[in-house]
Amino acid sequence: MGDVLVIRHGATEWSRSGQHTGVTDLPLLPDGEEDGRRLASVLAGRKIAHAFVSPRARARRTAELAGLFDGSVDAQIDEDLVEVDYGGYEGRSTKEISEEMGRQWSLWKDGTIPGETPGETLEQVARRVDRVITRIRPLLADGDVALVAHGHVLRILTARWLGLGPEAGGLFPLDTGRYGLLGYERERPALRGWNTACP
């Protein structure tokens, strides 16, 4: 039985500045590209049978640099792995939103607001990642499954893997270019590693 590798894309301009990046399709910074190359050495040491990748350029490029599109892995784009639609909070930092609200804002408690896009609730994102989990569970019989996507969507997926509500994603910070391992302990879903840096 394989593990699920949840991989956050490499660094972008907005991940560096703390701006929420949902639908905006930013490229990787040069050190973000290096994040992808470092991931390749980690993935080379595992039996990756399948990969699912967000369609956003930052995730696709990370997966490409990590070697997931070289033909050795059954890799495909998965629309359910796009980042949370932040709506009116797109491109804004937590500090900026909190100052406007007059109190500390948290995606996990306060959610999003409509803007140029409608925004998404945590429950809507949970439905998306539940579909991903349903698709990948049987594939673990073939080996590891890699998911290359974004911070918040992967944190919600992790919470759902563990049988928790989507708001529990707040417990699992995941930095750019880092990964976590989801698997089982005695047939019970378990967290096997988290926010691991690549050598």
Burial of 61: CB neighbours in 10 Å, binned 0-12, 13-18, 19+ = buried
- Measured CA to CA in angstroms, residue 57 lies from 21, 23, 66, 70, 94 at distances of 12, 11, 14, 17, 23
Round to whole Å and give the CA distance between 194 and 56.
23
Round to whole Å and give the CA distance between 170 and 62.
24
Which entry of 9, 50, 150, 152 is annotated as an active-site residue? 9
Which entry of 33, 83, 90, 120 is annotated as an active-site residue? 83
152 is catalytic: no
* DSSP state for residue 71 in the 8-state scheme: S
20 is catalytic: no
Catalytic residues: 9, 83
